[in-house]
Amino acid sequence: MTKLHFNPELLPVDSLAGEDPVHPERLTLSWLRERFAEPPQWTPEKTDEHRLREHADGRIVDAAVLVPLVDREGTLTLLLTQRTEHLTDHGGQVSLPGGRVEESDGSIVETALREAREEIGLDPSHVEVMGLLPEYITGTGYRVTPVVALVHPPFELTADFNEVAEIFEVPLAFLMNGMNHQIRTVMLPDGVRQRTFYSMPYDRFFIWGATAGMLRNLFHFLRA
């Protein structure tokens, strides 16, 4: 995977997704536990990235990410990372902690927990796994399973600076509001096809692509 040939932040906003925010009652620990214990019927959203890769040739690599929801005295935040610029895949982008499945991993949950510990030093003893979201196929050839979990403070984090430039948190209420979900479009290198993607800019961080796509599915799951 080569580096991006465009700056997604400079692309104009086509529109906003525009759905109503998830009700505050649904952004509480008790409600989230109940929702994952008894999931409803719902339809995951497939982005252009997912559709383009599904019909492309080439090997798909299984991977997992942790979706770490941090309990900040009753207010939930999402813990994210800014990847280092030199990485081949998704360098410099905002990401959820995670990576490819290793043969030694006993499950997809173990992959997510191991990667979170390696990347940001998150001790699994602080993590309460709630459930999984549908697989997300990225344009770089990964089939990613998001593992949603609560993270209980106090905890300490130590970034692996070979992979992670910064660790930060975003209020979950901001991310679970369709008015904060921007839709942007870029022309692909062949000059014929376009790719439309979601972005969720927050403060000085630009959340987009696969991370935004997986957060859209969390949004749909909580609203269902």
In this structure, what CATH number is given to the domain that contains residue 33?
A: 3.90.79.10
Q: 110: which residues sit within 8 A by CB, 6+ positions away? A: none
User: Into how many domains does the chain fold?
Assistant: 1
Is there a contact between 138 and 47 (Cβ–Cβ < 8 Å)? no
Q: Report the length, in residues, of the chain.
A: 224
Instruction: Report how far apart, in Å, the C-alpha atoms of 86 and of each of 161, 162, 206 are.
Output: 11, 9, 18
Can you give the residue range of the structural domain that contains 62? 10-223
In this structure, is residue 4 part of a structural domain? no
Is there a contact between 83 and 65 (Cβ–Cβ < 8 Å)? no
Of 163 and 132, the one with more pLDDT = 132
- Look at the block and give the residue holding tokens 């699994």: 124
For 20-29, how does the pLDDT look when each residue is reduced to its tens digit (9 = 90+)?
999 999 999 9
In this structure, is residue 3 part of a structural domain? no
The pLDDT of residue 182: 98
Confidence of residue 1 (pLDDT cuts 50, 70, 90): very low
For 74-127, how does the pLDDT look when each residue is reduced to its tens digit (9 = 90+)?
899 999 999 887 555 555 799 999 999 999 999 999 999 999 999 999 999 999
In this structure, is residue 140 part of a structural domain? yes
For 31-68, how does the pLDDT look when each residue is reduced to its tens digit (9 = 90+)?
999 999 999 999 999 888 877 766 556 788 999 999 99
Predicted TM-score of the model (pTM): 0.93
